[in-house]
């Protein structure tokens, strides 16, 4: 069997397109078939090479490798030849320079692998343009010619193409070529229940990459948009998903995109990822943010990432939670500052910073010991100082354990931040 993903490079790789690519790819991989990538760039004004590059990069990032690659703009001679054939056989006619298919007046039945039988009455089908007067083929014609010539056995695509399918079926028939099987995938709805669009959230795969989703987590989530491995399983490795995958099990009903669920799945993948790889994934984000230079202490980074790994829904969460470890300028959460950094804390901060100067080694055990002594001397509850000190050091009301935080910051930064806090 042979399937294809056939994007038009008139925009970015969309979440819906990525799911179509994924289901085609999974079907090919689960059946030992071939997965073709065909760039449908026949619309020369709307197609852009940068979109085409972006689509290829997106598929590569998701790990959806193709076995064969085509660009329709390199195949215009083939479409012209087939249009010519239909003209000669009287199945098409010219209108000016355009070539138009004479649509037979008959009912067309489509047996869809997901939706069952769909019947199109003859009134719904009009003569169809095959070649436009500018010499370029229409989508329906180049698509039908290619699916037939490339030996596509199953056309798996979005349900927005259902109305094109009877036209394409009549084109294969007119050309005397094999009609493939069809499966039309359900729509993906955004949070407001309408078709997913920029209005309701990010739609480009590259946006999800930039938000810090792991490709395997996004792939895992995309496969749940219309399909389910059963037993309420949500996190599933690709090899077991491939064993269970079947087109017939895809839902007819629209799938609802949930950012919360995607984040939850991403969090599970981040937890399971080896820390070394997680660091490799985080480094570009940290560099882009100016948190790391060309040279950096990888061992220290590994140590920090290990502490945060269990708490991250996305890679960019790390930038927000651990920013105080990478930049001199700490960003204070306004409520945390107002609540905890009040003038009455100054004496405690002062005493603590003086004592910490003598802590040696500056580790979690020693800093905790010093902290306990100071709290006792001041005669306050340790909670009365823990939270304010955390805010002074990190800018945040919640975070790692306080003594872990001090150790990661090191003696100088810990003391400087306490001094800066009581100076204010």
DSSP string, 160-221: GGGGGHHHHHHHHHHHT----EEEEEPPEE-TTSSBP-GGGS--BHHHHHHTT--HHHHHHH
- Does 40 contact ligand GLU by CB under 6 A? yes
Place of tokens 């009609």: 179
Q: Which of 2, 3, 6, 19 lies at the binding interface for ligand GLU (CB under 6 A)?
A: 6
Stretch of 4-12, 248-256, 258-266, 311-319 contacting ligand GLU, by CB under 6 A: 4-12
* Adjacency order of strands within the sheet including 68-71: 2-5, 34-39, 68-71
Specify the residue, 40 or 323, whose C-beta has the smaller distance to ligand GLU: 40
DSSP state of 18: H
User: Pick the catalytic residue: 48, 126, 198, 237?
Assistant: 198
For residue 249, the minimal CB distance to ligand GLU (Å) is: 21
- Does 353 contact ligand GLU by CB under 6 A? no
Q: Which of 2, 7, 220, 389 lies at the binding interface for ligand GLU (CB under 6 A)?
A: 7
For residue 82, the minimal CB distance to ligand GLU (Å) is: 17
For residue 163, the minimal CB distance to ligand GLU (Å) is: 12
Specify the residue, 158 or 229, whose C-beta has the smaller distance to ligand GLU: 158
Place of tokens 């019947």: 119
For residue 6, the minimal CB distance to ligand GLU (Å) is: 4
- Does 161 contact ligand GLU by CB under 6 A? yes
Sequence-distant (6+) residues with CB within 8 A of 327 are: 290, 291
For residue 8, the minimal CB distance to ligand GLU (Å) is: 4
Sequence-distant (6+) residues with CB within 8 A of 353 are: 414, 415, 418, 419, 422
Specify the residue, 13 or 322, whose C-beta has the smaller distance to ligand GLU: 13
Q: What's the rounded Cα separation, in Å, for the pair 155 and 161?
A: 11
Contact of 351 with 378, CB cutoff 8 Å: yes
For residue 202, the minimal CB distance to ligand GLU (Å) is: 19
Specify the residue, 7 or 166, whose C-beta has the smaller distance to ligand GLU: 7
Q: What's the rounded Cα separation, in Å, for the pair 92 and 105?
A: 14
Stretch of 2-10, 113-121, 245-253, 278-286 contacting ligand GLU, by CB under 6 A: 2-10
Specify the residue, 204 or 402, whose C-beta has the smaller distance to ligand GLU: 204
Cα R_g (the chain), whole angstroms? 30
Q: What's the rounded Cα separation, in Å, for the pair 202 and 208?
A: 7
Of residues 95-154, which lie at the interface with ligand GLU (CB under 6 A)?
143
- Partners of 195 in the β-ladder: 189
Please say if 198 is a catalytic residue.
yes
Neighbours of 30 (CB within 10 A): 15
Note the residues at the interface with ligand GLU (CB under 6 A): 6-8, 40, 143, 157, 161
The residues annotated as belonging to the active site are 198
């Amino acid at each position: 069997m042979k399937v294809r993903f056939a994007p038009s490079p008139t925009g970015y790789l969309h979440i819906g397109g990525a799911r179509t690519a994924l289901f085609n790819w999974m079907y090919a991989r689960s059946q030992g078939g071939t997965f073709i990538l065909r760039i449908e760039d026949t619309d020369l004004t709307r197609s852009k090479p940068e979109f085409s590059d972006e689509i290829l990069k997106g598929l590569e990032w998701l790990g959806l490798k193709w076995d064969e690659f085509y660009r329709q703009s390199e195949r215009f001679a083939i479409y012209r030849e087939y249009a010519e054939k239909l003209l000669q056989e009287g199945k098409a006619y010219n209108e000016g320079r355009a070539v138009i298919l004479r649509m037979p007046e008959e009912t067309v039945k489509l047996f869809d692998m997901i939706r069952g039988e769909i019947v199109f009455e003859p009134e719904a089908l009009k003569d169809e343009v095959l070649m436009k007067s500018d010499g370029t083929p229409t989508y329906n014609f180049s698509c039908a010619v290619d699916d037939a010539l490339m030996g596509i056995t199953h056309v798996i695509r979005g349900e927005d193409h259902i109305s094109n399918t009877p036209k394409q079926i009549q084109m294969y028939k007119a050309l005397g070529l094999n009609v493939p099987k069809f499966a039309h995938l359900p729509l993906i709805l955004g949070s407001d229940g309408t078709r997913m669009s920029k209005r309701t959230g990010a739609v480009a795969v590259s946006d999800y990459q930039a938000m810090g989703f792991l490709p395997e987590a996004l792939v895992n989530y995309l496969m749940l948009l219309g399909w389910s491995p059963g037993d309420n399983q949500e996190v599933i490795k690709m090899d077991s998903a491939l064993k269970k995958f079947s087109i017939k099990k895809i839902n007819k009903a629209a799938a609802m995109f949930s950012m919360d669920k995607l984040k939850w799945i991403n969090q599970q993948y981040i937890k399971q990822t080896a820390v070394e790889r997680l660091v490799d994934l985080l480094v570009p984000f940290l560099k882009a943010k100016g948190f790391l230079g060309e040279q950096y202490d990888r061992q220290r980074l590994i140590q920090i990432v290990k502490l945060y790994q269990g708490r991250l829904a996305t890679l960019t969460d790390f930038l927000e939670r651990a920013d105080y470890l990478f930049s001199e300028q700490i960003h204070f959460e306004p409520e945390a500052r107002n609540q905890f950094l009040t003038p009455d804390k100054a004496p405690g901060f002062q005493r603590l910073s003086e004592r910490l100067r003598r802590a040696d080694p500056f580790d979690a055990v020693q800093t905790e010991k010093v902290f306990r002594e100071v709290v006792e001397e001041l005669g306050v509850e340790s909670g009365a100082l823990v939270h304010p000190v955390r805010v002074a050091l990190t800018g945040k009301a919640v975070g790692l354990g306080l003594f872990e935080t001090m150790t990661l910051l090191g003696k100088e930064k810990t003391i400087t931040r306490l001094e800066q806090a009581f100076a204010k």
